[in-house]
Amino acid sequence: MLHLNRTAEKVLSIIAVILTAIGVIFGFIGMAFINLVKNDPTIQRDFENEMLMTDPAMTQADLDTVYTVFNFMGGFIWLIIIGMIISVVLNIIGIVNIWKNKNAKLAGIMFIIAGLLGGIISLPSILLYVAAILCFTKKPTLQDDLQYTDQSYDGDGMRPL
């Protein structure tokens, strides 16, 4: 069985999984910050005072709208975090397939789906797209096992066809 050197795919996918994992960690930090702002009465009071100083015409309904936006952002960040976690899992499945020279096409599909879930045009996604393209396009080199020469020919005169 012929094994291809898949170093480029391995390196790109490992870099992508590390960057995506860092993104997940920052997502959790962002969620902790949003929950801190949302649940701490002292921070809420300071935030409301700052908003009222900035715009004295602001009403309680306006502040409720700001808190609704915070809640929406929290839900959106959770959606991104879940997508990135799934991306990490699919990326690892692709890496395992590449590492064991199992199925490069399956790994390429996993890399594309992981790239879409990890952020369509983020750096890790672009790396995964490149790794997927390499998985689909890199083919084993053909070896010339059959030689069209007659080994029993002694070299006198013309060689038979």
pLDDT in tens, 116-146: 999 888 999 999 999 999 999 987 665 554 4
Mean pLDDT of 27-35: 88
Q: What is the extent of the structural domain holding 46?
A: 7-137
The reported pLDDT for the residue numbered 128 is 96
Cα–Cα dist 37/105, whole Å: 46
Q: Say if 53 falls within a structural domain.
A: yes
Q: Say if 143 falls within a structural domain.
A: no
Residues constituting the chain: 161
Whole-Å CA distances, 101 to 3, 8, 37, 77, 95: 7, 13, 48, 36, 10
Q: Say if 110 falls within a structural domain.
A: yes
Percent residues over pLDDT 90 in the chain: 44
Q: Is the pLDDT of residue 109 over 60?
A: yes
Of 50-54, 102-106, 125-129, 153-157, where does mean pLDDT reach its minimum? 153-157
What six digits make up the tokens of 76? 């959106």
Total domains in the fold of the chain: 1
The CA-CA-CA angle for residues 89, 92, 97, to 5°, reads 130
Cβ atoms within 10 Å, residue 61:
7
Mean pLDDT of 31-40: 84
The reported pLDDT for the residue numbered 154 is 57
The reported pLDDT for the residue numbered 129 is 96
Cα–Cα dist 90/107, whole Å: 9
Question: How far does Cα 114 stand from its chain's mean position?
Answer: 5
Q: Say if 149 falls within a structural domain.
A: no
Q: Say if 157 falls within a structural domain.
A: no
Q: Per-residue pLDDT tens for 66-81?
A: 888 888 888 888 999 9
Q: Say if 72 falls within a structural domain.
A: yes
